[in-house]
Amino acid sequence: MKENNKEYITRREALKRMGAFATLLSLELSGVSSLASCANKKAKRRIIFFFTATGNSLFVAKLLSDDVRSIPQELKKSELNYEADEIGFVFPDYAASAPLIVREFVSKATFRAPYIFSVITYGNAAVNVCEWWNRFANEQGLQQQYIKSLLMVDNYLPVFDMNEQIKIDKHTDENLATIIEELAAQKEYIEKGDLGWFNEEGLERLRASHFPMTAERLIAINQEKCIGCEFCTRVCPRGNLKLTGDGIRAEGSCEYCLACVHNCTQKALTLRSPMAGRPGERNPEARYRHPDISINEIVRANQQ
């Protein structure tokens, strides 16, 4: 199936492409004495809740289950009670912690499953994000058996040039294949952190600067470049961008996910610099979206 000239791929095709299909197939067949017993074996029901800005976490979620649910869309519901054989969360690492919208969802919802896990995508240093998430989830009454990070392209524009990032081999396919195998076996594992050159005080300062962000403080808009396509308004999980008679306006409490900037078709959105005379991002001409995720998939996940 194609949409906007971009071909969608099935979960099976994506697994083949990344080299994990053979691993998954062998796991599905292991321990089965015959084809008949395999056919009669009841499949586990696995639900994945995800949050994505540029498609990394959505790509992972789609490989882990055929039942993937967007956290921004789930938060619109009045009933947030979920039950399955397995429940998973896939989301990006923000300042060695979870995005605010993910925290909000977990604090409001109830989850019942014998096996609960998380995969946290990151692009440079995971630090102690898995341990942080485990503590936070426990405080919300959510007990997890497995939490692991996954290195992918880093889409944090203030620090990284996307043209350089996409050239780096981060062994994502191999590491993701391992995660698929471990989850199939329902492995129990909580990844330990490595602070590296960080320390707890430094991390708290980083979080303090990252999370109280507003859209008007973060986003600069070149109205002359804007063509009014409204993709920026539709990929924002907080509904912070609006098309007005004077062009796009950005205001409101911001996730700092950068979905609007990365998915602007005209590169009309850039980041404001926190310091006068310094650029707000490494390369305003370079943007990123996961090659197997379309902009319309991100719209469907985030649109408010």
How confident is the model over 114-131, as a mean pLDDT? 96
Reply yes or no on whether the pLDDT at 33 is more than 70. no
What are 248-286's pLDDT values in tens digits? Answer: 999 999 999 999 999 999 999 999 986 555 568 999 999
Kindly report the CATH number that applies to the domain delimited by 2-201: 3.40.50.360
Is residue 287's pLDDT more than 70?
Answer: yes
The total of other beta-carbon atoms located within 10 Å of residue 208's CB is: 10
Q: Which amino acid is at 251?
A: E
Which of the pair, 210 or 53, is modelled with greater confidence? 53
| pLDDT reported for residue 13 | 60
* Burial status of residue 184 (CB atoms within 10 A of its CB: 0-12, 13-18, 19 or more): middle
The distance between the two most distant Cα atoms of the chain, rounded to a whole number of Å, is: 69
Write out the residue limits of the CATH 3.40.50.360 domain(s) in the chain.
2-201
- pLDDT category of residue 14 using cuts at 50, 70 and 90: low
For residue 111, the tally of other CB atoms under 10 A from its CB is 21
Start-end of CATH 3.30.70 domains in the chain: 213-302
- Average per-residue pLDDT for the chain: 88
Share of the chain above pLDDT 70, in %: 84
33, amino acid identity: S
User: Could you tell me which residues come within 8 angstroms of residue 300 by beta carbon, excluding any fewer than 6 positions away?
Assistant: 70
Do the beta carbons of residue 227 and residue 262 sit within 8 Å?
no
The answer to whether 136 and 147 have CB atoms below 8 angstroms apart is: no
Given this model, what pLDDT does residue 280 score?
A: 86
- pTM of the predicted protein model: 0.86
* CATH no. for 213-302: 3.30.70
What's CA 132's distance to the chain center, in Å?
17
Write down the pLDDT at residue 275.
Answer: 52
Task: Look at residue 224 and tell me whether its pLDDT is greater than 50.
Answer: yes
d(CA 75, CA 125): 29
146-151 and 115-122 as β-strands: parallel, antiparallel, unpaired? parallel
pLDDT-wise least confident of 121-125, 201-205, 277-281 = 277-281
Candidate from 55-64, 112-121, 200-209 with smallest mean pLDDT: 200-209
7 pLDDT above the threshold of 80: no
pLDDT-derived band at 36, boundaries 50, 70, 90: very low
Task: Between 282 and 39, name the one with better pLDDT.
Answer: 282
> Is residue 24 predicted with pLDDT exceeding 80?
no
Percent of the chain with pLDDT over 90: 76
